[in-house]
Amino acid sequence: MTPSTAEYPQMPVEDFEALAAAAPENVRLELVDGRVRTRDPLSVEDFEELEQRAPETVRLEYINGKLEVKAVPDGNHREIALWLTLQVAQHRPDLGFYGESGLETGAYRKGRARTDGVVARKGHFTGHGEWSESDGIFMAVEITSHDRDTHRRDRVDKPVGYAEAGIPLYLLIDRDNDTVVLYRSPMHGRYQEITSYPWGTPVPLPHPLGFVLDTTELQDYAN
């Protein structure tokens, strides 16, 4: 069961003040019930300038036309990312798991998602800037964080953005429900197949990856 929003931390006022002070003149921010919001519609160009000016303690995304703040990963989050890195290296040494990757997502690549990681061929990101096109990405990966927007961001908005960008697979490692959720077959801005696997069960990853994830280790990070 997903924890209640009351359990999730809010953005510290100090971080908001630092972000607001660094924002471009035409980007007006406000803090409402612990969430950062823009007072006016935000263009992707304004977002990119704001993101470049943001303090290191604040990680920003632009999802479905809205400014989003992504939680800083905790220890279990980092261990899960390492687990997936090793799984990819073991089964597909020609590929790499690239953590903390910025992608252009959504319809017409108007979104900016800071993924927890992606799987692509080694060398894929050579010469890329901070926000890479989604072409050539085989799988996007998110690991849920303990912030109150994780449900809407990781389970609702990001599957749409990744599907619209044509990314073949989206893997959600859901720490609230101790499951791995595989989204596949993007079509018309939606993944047509969604399968949930309890931690500890094998997860078959179809083409273009073509191997089975051993999720036994994930049980060490169960709630």
**Cα–Cα dist 201/206, whole Å:** 16
- Domain 75-221 fold is tt1808, chain A (3.90.1570)
Instruction: Write the CA distances from 185 to 34, 60, 143, 171, integer angstroms.
Output: 36, 28, 20, 12
- Give the residues of the chain that fall short of pLDDT 70: 1-9
| Residue 64 confidence (pLDDT) | 84
The structure's pTM equals 0.88
| Residue 9 confidence (pLDDT) | 52
Helix (H) or strand (E) holding 101: strand 95-105
- Structure-block tokens of residue 164: 């619209």
| Residue 53 confidence (pLDDT) | 94
Q: Give the largest CA-CA distance in the chain.
A: 51
Encode pLDDT of 156-190 as tens digits.
Answer: 899 999 999 999 999 999 999 999 999 999 999 99
